[in-house]
Structure 1
Amino acid sequence: MLFSKFLENRRSTREYSDKMVENDKLEMLMDFAEKLQSGYGNDGIRFILYEDGEKIYENLKGVAGYAGVMINSPHYIGLQTDNEDKETIIKAAYAMETLLTKAYQLDLGSCWINIMDTPYDSKEILFNGKNKHINYIVAIGYSKDKSKISQIANSNGLENEDIGYLNTIRPFKEKKYFVEKSTSSRLSVKDIVFDSKFGKSIDPDELDKRGLDELFYYVRYAPSNKNKQPWRFILKNNKVNLAVIDPKDKNNLTDAGIMMYYFEEMAKSIGFKSSWDFIEGDIQEEDGITFSILGEYKL
Structure 2
Amino acid sequence: MKFISLVEEMKTVRDYKKEPVDSSLIQKVIEAGNETRGIVKSQGASIVFIKNGKEVYSELSGKAGYYGKMIEAPHYLAIVSKPYPNFQENSGYIMEWIRLKAWEFGLGTCWLSMEDDVELKKKLDLEEDEVVTALIAIGHPYSGIFKTDISPKSGRMGVEDIVYLQNWENSCSVEYLDSRGLTNIFYYTKFAPSWGNKQPWRFIIDKEKVFLVVNKEQQKSMKIDAGIVMLYFEKASHEEGIIGKWRLDVEEVMGKRYHIPEDYELIGYYSI
Give distance in 2, aligned partners of 1:189 and 1:249: 24
Give distance in 2, aligned partners of 1:239 and 1:125: 43
Aligned to 1:293: 266
Give 1:133's match in structure 2, choosing from 126, 131, 134. Answer: 131
When residues 248 and 28 of structure 1 are mapped into structure 2, their CA distance, relative to the original with a 3 A threshold, is closer
CA contact (8 A) 1:195 1:234 kept: yes
Aligned to 2:178: 208
Give 2:191's match in structure 1, choosing from 221, 230, 245. Answer: 221
Aligned pairs for 1:1-299 within 5 A: 1-36=1-36, 43-83=43-83, 85=85, 87-115=86-114, 117-118=115-116, 120=118, 122-131=119-128, 132-145=130-143, 164=151, 185-246=155-216, 249-282=219-252, 284=255, 286=259, 289-299=262-272
Aligned residues: 266
Give distance in 2, aligned partners of 1:214 and 1:35: 26
Deviation at 1:269, TM superposition (A): 1.5
Deviation at 1:289, TM superposition (A): 4.8
Deviation at 1:36, TM superposition (A): 4.2
Deviation at 1:262, TM superposition (A): 0.6
When residues 38 and 257 of structure 1 are mapped into structure 2, their CA distance, relative to the original with a 3 A threshold, is closer
Give distance in 1, aligned partners of 2:78 and 2:123: 8
User: Per the alignment, in what secondary structure is the counterpart of residue 78 of structure 1?
Assistant: strand
Give distance in 1, aligned partners of 2:37 and 2:52: 22
Deviation at 1:201, TM superposition (A): 1.1
Give the share of equivalent positions with the same residue, in percent.
Answer: 29
Deviations 1:235-262 (A, max 9, x none): 1111111111218813111101000001
Counterpart AA for 2:125: N
Aligned to 1:150: none
Please give the TM-score of this superposition, normalised by the length of structure 1.
0.80
When residues 276 and 19 of structure 1 are mapped into structure 2, their CA distance, relative to the original with a 3 A threshold, is same
Give distance in 2, aligned partners of 1:38 and 1:232: 21
Stretches of structure 2 that go unaligned for 5 or more consecutive residues are none
CA contact (8 A) 1:56 1:125 kept: no
When residues 104 and 66 of structure 1 are mapped into structure 2, their CA distance, relative to the original with a 3 A threshold, is closer
CA contact (8 A) 2:20 2:74 kept: yes
Stretches of structure 1 that go unaligned for 5 or more consecutive residues are 148-161, 167-183
Deviation at 1:206, TM superposition (A): 1.0
